[in-house]
Structure 1
Amino acid sequence: MLNLQDELIISNNGQGMYEITNNVHDWIVKNNIIKGQLNLFIQHTSASLTIMENASPDVLDDINSFFQRIVPEDASLYKHGYEGDDDMPAHIKSMLTQTSLTIPINNKEMQLGVWQGIYLIEHRYSKYKRKIILSYIGE
């Protein structure tokens, strides 16, 4: 049985969705992962992780528009704004999405569907470096 834990640092250009599937795949190859479960956990309250379609850029635009409608970035709606007008909306968006993912691995490949990709979602306007903890158990 093999247990590994590592971190992945992802730099971004501010609010948006960033596909990190290749970053995770490279980590699997580097560590000669064969079969097991990989957990990804983001250590932030204003960014999140998700698995979604990676074929059409329209999906990213539609999801961004959806978030803008359900979580308006209007400072007058929130008490908390210590780090800026986008702070509280970012926390809400993070809460509505996911901070961790578990992905099965078999034969050195993530068992993702044909159109699935792993994404870091940055909910803040500014550029950030986000830390994702990778925890693996398997062969």
Structure 2
Amino acid sequence: MWQQQELKLAPRSRGFHLITDEIVDALPGLSHCAVGLLHLQLLHTSASLTLNENADPDVRHDLDAFLRERIPGDLPYFRHTLEGPDDMPAHVCASLLGTQLSLAVRKGRLALGTWQGIWLGEHREHGGSRRLLMTLNGDG
């Protein structure tokens, strides 16, 4: 089985957002997949995807605070500044964290650890909606 579709995510504020449920809800074929892989590709260069803590929102806050401190918008050597002071730092964060995830599927569900969830990292102050290409491959 192959299934591919695009999910349009609503605009979010800068920071990290748990999007696991949105992804699962948008994949009706997931429940029919006994074993497989789900590949997620964020179609943007100033946001990221990562797999991390799904229970305590302080973890999302703390990672955002860590990145903002280490990659501020006023670094004097940044040349790419036409789109605002948050744009180049957003590109750096997206490159460090990545824009793709490949996740195992088992018994019709994502094979995530107990405390794992999929995060969207929005690294712009006003990034707008984001598009996520989801490709599911597996056997029923």
- Global fold match (TM > 0.5): yes
Note the aligned Cα RMSD (angstroms): 1.3
State the TM-score, normalized to the length of structure 2. 0.92
**1:77 offset after TM fit, Å?**
4.0
- Structure 2 residue 12 is the aligned partner of structure 1 residue 9: no
Q: Give the SS at the match of 2:26.
A: helix
For residues 109 and 12 of structure 2, what CA distance do their matches in structure 1 show? 29
Unaligned runs of 5+ in 1: none
Per the alignment, residue 50 of structure 1 pairs with 50
**1:75 offset after TM fit, Å?**
5.5
**1:21 offset after TM fit, Å?**
0.5
Unaligned runs of 5+ in 2: none
Question: Residues 10-64 of structure 1: CA distance to partner in whole angstroms, max 9, x if unpaired?
Answer: 1123211111100121133x22431210000001000010000011121112101
Go from structure 1 to structure 2 and tell me whether the alpha carbon gap of 1:16 and 1:33 turns closer, same or farther (over 3 Å shift): farther
In the alignment of these two chains, the number of paired residues is 137
Q: Which runs of 4+ in 1 moved over 4 A?
A: none
For residues 137 and 5 of structure 2, what CA distance do their matches in structure 1 show? 12
For the Cα contact (< 8 Å) 1:105–1:111, is it kept in 2?
A: yes
For residues 120 and 50 of structure 1, what CA distance do their matches in structure 2 show? 7
